Amino acid sequence: MSEVEETLERVKVQPGVEGYVICNRQGQVLRRLPSMSQAQADIYAQKMSGLSKKARGVVRDLNPKNELRYLRIRAKKHEVLVAYDQEFLVIVIQRWTPAQA
């Protein structure tokens, strides 16, 4: 099993993970969690591709020596983690519940 396959296996067995998408920089889905629909994977890929490009621009504007590597977005029910690479985006969607005080 390749290193990529091993990493994907580790990701999908983590508690709360509802899906993952690997896409190229143009937002084309290359791989997704099999239980995730293609339409849903396409939406995540398109939206996160555009958002990560904008976030990368902001980081570069603040300090040209810095580079965006990871992006984390938390909503009411989900958390989206995006790993930004030169050629690919890895998007992980997981359930999120606030800590009880």
Predicted pLDDT of residue 1: 57
Helix, strand, coil percentages for the chain (3-state, nearest 5): 35, 30, 35
User: Which residues of the chain have a pLDDT value below 50?
Assistant: none
Please give the single-letter amino acid code of residue 94.
Answer: Q
Distance CA 40, CA 43 (A): 5
State the residue for tokens 């143009």: 26
Q: Nearest to residue 45, comparing CAs of 93, 12, 5, 13?
A: 93
pTM reported for the whole predicted model: 0.86
CATH superfamily name and code, 3-95: Dynein light chain 2a, cytoplasmic (3.30.450.30)
- pLDDT of 91 reads 93
Q: Which residues contact 18 (CB under 8 A, 6 or more apart)?
A: 33, 36, 78, 93, 94, 95
Residue 29: predicted pLDDT: 93
What pLDDT is recorded for position 37? 93
For residue 41, what pLDDT is reported?
94
